[in-house]
Amino acid sequence: MALPIEALQVEALPVLPGRRGHLVIKTGGVPAIPECGSATIPGLLSERSCVFYGARWMLAAIPDVIHLVHGPAGCAYYGGTVRRKNYRVYSSMMEERDIVFGGGSRLYAAILEAVRREPAAKAVLIYATCAAGLIGEDLDAICGNASAATGLQVVPVNSPGFRGCSQAAGHDLAASVLLRHFIGAGGGQSTIPNSVNILGEFDVQGDLQQIEALLQQLGLRIICAFSGRASTTAMAGAHRARLNIVHCRRTGQFLADGMQERFGTPHLKASFFGLEETAASLRAIGRFFGTDEAVVETAVETGCSEARRLAEPFLKRLRGKRVALFFGASRMGSMSKAFRDLGMNLVMIGSQFGCRVDYEDAGHKVAEGTMILDDAPEQELEIFLHQRRPDLLCGGTKEKYMAHKMGVPFMVFPQEGSPFAGFRGFVNLAREAAGLVSAPVWRLARSEDAGRQTRGHSGRGMETPRVSQGNAPPAGESSPLNLPDGISSKNGEGKMEAEAKTEHRPTRVAVASNDGLTVDRHFGNAEQFLVFDLTGDGVRLSEIRTPAAGDGCAETADEDGPTGAHKGGIEDRMRLLSDCEAAICIRAGHCAQERLGEYGLQLIEACGGLPDALRSFYASSGKEKESDER
Amino acid sequence: MRLNEIPIDGVPYDRLKVEKIPASPAYAPRDPELVPAAGRTLVINPDRICMPIGAMWAVLGVHRAIPFVQGAQGCTTYARYTFSRIFKEPATIATASFHEDAAVFGGRRNLLEGLRNLVVRYWPEVIGIATTCSSEIMGDDLVSFVKEARIKIGGEIGAEKMDRIAMVIINTPSFAGSHVDGYDRAAKAFVDTLATGRDTPDRRVNIIPGLLYPGDIREIRHLLEEMEIEATVLFDISDTLDAPLAPPQEIPYYPPGGTTLQEIRGMGNALATFALQPAAGAGGARSLERRLGVPAVVGLTPVGVDATDALLQNLSRITGREIPASLKIERGRLIDALADTFHHTMMKRVAIFGDPDTVTGVARFVCELGMTPVAVAPGTPTKTFEQEMDGIFAGYRELFLDTPKVFNGGDLFEFEEYLKTLPRLDLIIGNSKGIDISRELEVPLVRVGFPIYDRFGYQKRPIVGYRGAELLLYEIVNSILDFRYPDDRTQQL
């Protein structure tokens, strides 16, 4: 009997007041759209980056130009790595005197030297950083002079990090640079038949080859892919393509609009991630070019069936698993489709800097009850992972290690190993996801966790000693390893009779929780108990009860329980909860456990997310009831 | 068939490796005038990052401390990527999220609001506020901003709680130095702000390790434990950036370990301060000496026999503790390993680059191995580097096959071009940035120092102390063997 736990805590995550609108849940079939596109609240661990980052993301892969960063050493170092790949970056390495007296002459000299160093380069891109922006460096003038001296196009990319709200501003900035200086520079008006550009495709681990192979089956040829395959020559002829395929809206749409305006090139939004999306994209492209439908259908059918066959062993392991996605922006929608093709359930989608359109698109593609999160700072992700415990989180490298610490497997996207695009890519995606969710390491991590729990660790402060032999319960008293999610149940057997209640009466259970999200308190020192009513239809928080201050059981208080408390406390607590069937807490002392029977209370020791604990309790009590009836 | 022609999973090997992507398919011939870094303004492949990341590194080594970066989001996000890639750990770093308004009106609002949000969401014990180019150019008056923020936040959460949160301002204008300088400034800022008195002198010593990895710091702790010396390791990243995976975690996530606030406050009472890396940390040690009279012992990076001996002797001299037999055994094992492998290491030519103190430490060690350091290049120039190198080489000059070339500053392009002019080179020792050079020259690379992002485990394997030196020695010898005898699978050494 599944508990509709999503009904509980629709507010979902505790957030700062200013962040409330950024978090919504899809309900009632209408895609809910979070507040988006606004500046990040300072002081949080924003996952967003700066304009320079966005510009590098777009431009780094252009091979035959010189990339010169006008700024301190740090920006040049950081800007050299894009999508985990190293690119050569030249730097003017601004120093203190350049800040004071201006770095113009230094930059000019550096440009000339860079051109001498790379005589085959076709153009020079100059990236301005915060330092250059703040001292008001006249980039246009310097670039103009350098251009006259070298005979090459020297293009300023005015990307000081403080511009805009996130790297999205950098994507648009870079796109406008490409439009203004590179695209269509080759002249020639005639359109090349059966040719396309792909916008917003960076050829991560061979994605572009997969897409190219699919398009070849339709008889199409790629002129230029921005910017996975965008040499200056390719860009110069890009305006002659028949169609622009926008693969990533965030990085491609601006270019597509610009090219439509200037050259009249039509564009089409497509995605090659996941079977359904790939098939739909191929069909749409086929329709545009008037390709023989049989050809398209053959390509789709063979591709899909082959991919299904190859992915089948992996899909079995993924079916019904819960996945959360946290991306840059517009991949949310297409990737959520891909994960649904894998048979996984989406519990959350989120992005760093998605816009309204991105959320609308994604909102249509996700199921009811999915959480949608905009510009989540690290802590909200942390709480989400802790509370909802998805089976897999997919996002960028920064989030990876936090997810691991929270015990959640993580998949890096843009991916690290093999292509994910196209039908073949789907198999790779399935293989990787299946490998990650069934990794033995998580079983090992959990058993350690359960083992620790029985030894009396409350995990409040890391500096407290974890293992206290004196508090270890006698062997055999509990066997948490055999129960799901580290939940151990004590006194369970003696309570069978009490469980036999009428069907319609809700099960009342108290949870020792201070933050309302996790089971985080010892029975004896909980400041409050949340009392829930559980019925077959859902969960309701009926009240919050506050016991009188003081510890319950001084002689068994473990290492982080308050000491010297009065002994009467435990009785008060029992009485306070006497109408409940169970109390869920991270741990309880011996005297509490001994006396629970007198008050008809069942004691459950659990840790982790509150919804999970309730769900497990409900599942186990349901089973007991059934066996009782039999 | 060459290695890079063997396809792995259908992808040729050379597409998998860290690529060096020139603007043209064929390498352009080098303009010889452009090679010396001193003769050009252009910087090609610098081996240094900027100041704030050094300060962030330092703050991450303090217990329940969060760095707060007064700058644009990129300054933080890039650094978090860098830490994640190197340590494979989450790096909790807050940003002031500078946007255009901050550039126009200054960063006051961002700092006040940011510190408040950080406090109520994370309840840190220490906040290390690092500046960036933007806030330094705008001239944010951090001292008064922080004072104002403390009053405001104190009004909200209660003055008593506010008093428990320490805030340290670290001025790190990116353009004024590298990550090494950033660390040094953080060390100075922490002791200046927090270690303010020498009221109850005790028998502890202070260790400022510098930019050493968790494995190195654990090795230093091991030495101290064997000597039975109690020590404060300032910026102890050994647990914070190498934390166990043991869910469920508490929210907010704080890694275990780190130097506690109380320990830092008591640093003024110590017997002495050891700054193991002169360029990264000596500023803190000297400040304690000047202000509170805690003697400073600066250097040597304890890599190799002589340098570790010197560290232990200094510790022994200052604390009065004997060097125990157990450490003498470790030393003996290292010496034994040196003797056993010497015929493979002697008369090999090696080039070393990286952070200045790593270079000096490793250079001293390779000299002990009978190798010739043909080129040494610190990414960050220091005033004393050339002098230190002279000191190290003095005892070995007659064993050298060639005269070592000592760079000071410069970039990896210059270093690489110099190596290409050498008739022979057997080994390169440096960080991951050297992989291009190593591949192109077909000379093995032994990874040491910061940053190592393309291989696992180096941040846990020490190079300091006797045991660390032994591990480094094996790495060096095995790299030479792999390279010189790649096909000889049956040879018994």
Same domain, yes or no: A59 and A23: no
Q: Chain A interface, mutation test: which of B78, B116, B138, most A Cβ atoms within 10 Å? A: B78
B396 pLDDT higher than 90: yes
Grade residue B103 by pLDDT with cuts at 50, 70 and 90: confident
The total number of structural domains in chain A stands at: 4
Pairing of strands A243-246, B7-8: unpaired
Chain A residues whose CB is inside 8 A of the B246 CB are 445, 448-449, 452
Residue B492 pLDDT: 65
Grade residue A45 by pLDDT with cuts at 50, 70 and 90: confident
Backbone angles phi, psi at A101, to 5 degrees: -100, 0
A456 lies in some domain: no
Kindly state the average pLDDT of the residues A209-229: 93
Same domain, yes or no: A289 and A320: no
B261 interfacial to chain A (CB closer than 8 Å): no
Buried residues in A608-618 as b, exposed as e (16+ CB within 10 A): bbbbbbbbbbb
Same domain, yes or no: B209 and B190: no
CA distances from A130 to A126, B78, B79 (A): 13, 14, 16
The set of residues, in sequence order, having a beta carbon less than 8 Å from that of A108 and lying 6+ positions away, is A142, A145, A146
Same domain, yes or no: B101 and B188: yes
Pairing of strands A371-374, A23-25: antiparallel
Residue B442 pLDDT: 83
Kindly state the average pLDDT of the residues B236-247: 89
The domain that contains B181 carries what CATH number?
A: 3.40.50.1980
**How many CB pairs below 8 Å do chains A and B form together?**
295
Residue A35 pLDDT: 87
| B78: nearest CA partner in chain A | A78
At A192-205, the pLDDT tens digits run 999 999 999 998 88
B312 lies in some domain: no
- Chain B residues 419-478 with a CB less than 8 Å from chain A: 436
Q: Are A166 and B73 inside 8 Å of each other by CB?
A: yes
Backbone angles phi, psi at B269, to 5 degrees: -90, 0
Grade residue A489 by pLDDT with cuts at 50, 70 and 90: very low
- Chain B residues 22-81 with a CB less than 8 Å from chain A: 22-24, 26, 28, 31, 34, 40-46, 48-53, 63, 68, 71-78, 80-81
A12 pLDDT higher than 70: no
- What 3 state SS string does A266-296 have? CEEECCCECHHHHHHHHHHHHHHHCCCHHHH
Kindly state the average pLDDT of the residues A139-165: 93
Spell out the alpha helix ranges (H) of A495-601: 496-499, 569-576, 590-596
CA A588, chain centre distance (Å)? 36
A209 lies in some domain: yes
| B42: nearest CA partner in chain A | A110
A571 lies in some domain: yes
At B188-202, the pLDDT tens digits run 999 999 998 888 999
Same domain, yes or no: B60 and B189: yes
CB B96 within 8 A of CB A43: yes
Please name the member of A45, A76, A517 whose beta carbon is closest to the beta carbon of B43.
Answer: A76
A490 lies in some domain: yes
Chain A residues whose CB is inside 8 A of the B49 CB are 73-74, 77-78
CA distances from A482 to A317, A489, A605 (A): 21, 11, 14
Same domain, yes or no: A497 and A578: yes
A10 lies in some domain: yes
CA distance A118 to chain B (A): 6
> Kindly report the CA angle at A121 between A203 and A161, in degrees rounded to 5?
65
Return the beta strands (E) in A26-83 as ranges: 65-70, 81-82
Same domain, yes or no: B234 and B349: no
Q: Are B176 and A445 inside 8 Å of each other by CB?
A: no
Same domain, yes or no: A494 and A610: yes
Place of tokens 């789709």: A300
Same domain, yes or no: B295 and B190: no
Kindly state the average pLDDT of the residues A17-33: 78
Q: Are B43 and A134 inside 8 Å of each other by CB?
A: no
State the number of CA atoms in the 13 A half-sphere of B352 facing the CB: 29
Regarding an ipTM greater than 0.85, the answer is: yes
A405 lies in some domain: yes
Q: Chain B interface, mutation test: which of A115, A462, A517, A605, most B Cβ atoms within 10 Å? A: A462
B111 interfacial to chain A (CB closer than 8 Å): yes
Q: How far apart (Å, rounded) are the C-alpha atoms in residues A98 and A107?
A: 10
Q: How far apart (Å, rounded) are the C-alpha atoms in residues B181 and B75?
A: 17
Residue A427 pLDDT: 95
Same domain, yes or no: A177 and A200: no
- Chain A residues 390-429 with a CB less than 8 Å from chain B: 397-398, 400-402, 404-407, 418
Domain span at residue B370?
326-484
A448 interfacial to chain B (CB closer than 8 Å): yes
Chain B residues whose CB is inside 8 A of the A383 CB are 251
The total number of structural domains in chain B stands at: 3
Q: How far apart (Å, rounded) are the C-alpha atoms in residues A55 and A174?
A: 5
A301 interfacial to chain B (CB closer than 8 Å): no
As separate numbers, helices (DSSP H) first and strands (DSSP E) second, chain A gives 22, 24
Grade residue A37 by pLDDT with cuts at 50, 70 and 90: confident
A524 lies in some domain: yes
B8 lies in some domain: no
Grade residue A382 by pLDDT with cuts at 50, 70 and 90: confident
Cis bond upstream, residue A377 (ω within 30) = no
Q: How far apart (Å, rounded) are the C-alpha atoms in residues A352 and A22?
A: 11
Q: How far apart (Å, rounded) are the C-alpha atoms in residues A459 and B248?
A: 8
CB B208 within 8 A of CB B279: no
B253 or A526: whose pLDDT is higher? B253
Question: Taking the CA atoms of chain A, what radius of gyration do you get in angstroms?
Answer: 30
Cis bond upstream, residue B252 (ω within 30) = yes
Residue B33 pLDDT: 83
Q: How far apart (Å, rounded) are the C-alpha atoms in residues A13 and A21?
A: 12
Q: Are B246 and A449 inside 8 Å of each other by CB?
A: yes
Grade residue A552 by pLDDT with cuts at 50, 70 and 90: very low
Residue B484 DSSP class: H
Same domain, yes or no: A96 and A232: no
B177 pLDDT higher than 70: yes
Grade residue A513 by pLDDT with cuts at 50, 70 and 90: confident
Residue A559 pLDDT: 38
Same domain, yes or no: A316 and A414: yes
Q: Chain B interface, mutation test: which of A48, A57, A117, A391, most B Cβ atoms within 10 Å? A: A117
The set of residues, in sequence order, having a beta carbon less than 8 Å from that of A309 and lying 6+ positions away, is none
At B255-290, the pLDDT tens digits run 999 999 999 999 999 999 999 999 999 999 999 999
Please name the member of B19, B44, B257 whose beta carbon is closest to the beta carbon of A90.
Answer: B44
Chain B residues whose CB is inside 8 A of the A84 CB are 85
| A113: nearest CA partner in chain B | B42
Grade residue B491 by pLDDT with cuts at 50, 70 and 90: low
Q: Are A64 and B24 inside 8 Å of each other by CB?
A: yes
The set of residues, in sequence order, having a beta carbon less than 8 Å from that of A457 and lying 6+ positions away, is A466, A467
Smallest CA-to-CA distance from A387 within A534, A513, A546 is with A513
Same domain, yes or no: B332 and B472: yes
Q: Chain A interface, mutation test: which of B251, B260, B355, B459, most A Cβ atoms within 10 Å? A: B251
Same domain, yes or no: A12 and A113: no
Of the three residues A438, A467, A497, the one that is the final residue of a domain is A438
CA distance B103 to chain A (A): 7
Of the three residues A133, A157, A181, the one that is the final residue of a domain is A181
Terminal Cα-to-Cα distance of chain A (whole angstroms): 17
A513 or B398: whose pLDDT is higher? B398
B22 lies in some domain: no
Of the three residues A181, A204, A224, the one that is the final residue of a domain is A181
Same domain, yes or no: B415 and B379: yes
Kindly state the average pLDDT of the residues A422-440: 93
B21 lies in some domain: no
Domain span at residue A104?
51-181
Collapsing DSSP to helix, strand or coil, A621 comes out as: helix
| B436: nearest CA partner in chain A | A86
Q: How far apart (Å, rounded) are the C-alpha atoms in residues A249 and A252?
A: 5
Kindly state the average pLDDT of the residues A345-351: 90
Residue B229 pLDDT: 95
Spell out the alpha helix ranges (H) of A182-274: 207-217, 232-236, 249-263
Smallest CA-to-CA distance from A534 within A2, A17, A178, A15 is with A2
Spell out the alpha helix ranges (H) of B275-384: 282-292, 305-319, 325-345, 356-368
Grade residue A315 by pLDDT with cuts at 50, 70 and 90: very high
Please name the member of A72, A118, A162 whose beta carbon is closest to the beta carbon of B50.
Answer: A72
CA distances from B418 to A113, B38, B424 (A): 19, 14, 12
At B138-173, the pLDDT tens digits run 999 999 999 999 999 999 888 888 999 999 999 999
E strand or H helix at A221: strand A221-227
Same domain, yes or no: A290 and A351: no
Smallest CA-to-CA distance from A551 within A542, A543, A560 is with A560
Same domain, yes or no: B88 and B64: yes
Same domain, yes or no: A236 and A139: no
Residue B29 pLDDT: 63
Q: How far apart (Å, rounded) are the C-alpha atoms in residues B356 and B379?
A: 7
Kindly state the average pLDDT of the residues A524-530: 79
Same domain, yes or no: B90 and B186: yes
Collapsing DSSP to helix, strand or coil, A298 comes out as: helix
Give the percent of chain B with pLDDT over 70: 92
Same domain, yes or no: B166 and B90: yes
Same domain, yes or no: A516 and A588: yes
Same domain, yes or no: A284 and A416: no
Same domain, yes or no: B416 and B278: no
Chain B residues whose CB is inside 8 A of the A65 CB are 23
A209 interfacial to chain B (CB closer than 8 Å): no
CB A194 within 8 A of CB A200: no
DSSP string, B183-238: HHHHHHHHHHHH----SS--S-EEEE--S--HHHHHHHHHHHHHTT--EEESS-HH
Q: How far apart (Å, rounded) are the C-alpha atoms in residues A545 and A94?
A: 61
Same domain, yes or no: B369 and B343: yes
Residue A584 pLDDT: 86
Backbone angles phi, psi at A492, to 5 degrees: -65, -40
B491 lies in some domain: no
A302 lies in some domain: no
Grade residue A608 by pLDDT with cuts at 50, 70 and 90: low
The domain that contains A389 carries what CATH number?
A: 3.40.50.1980
CB A387 within 8 A of CB A57: no
Collapsing DSSP to helix, strand or coil, A526 comes out as: coil
Residue A538 pLDDT: 67
Grade residue B490 by pLDDT with cuts at 50, 70 and 90: low
Q: Is B210 left (phi over 0), alpha (psi -120 to 50) or beta?
A: left
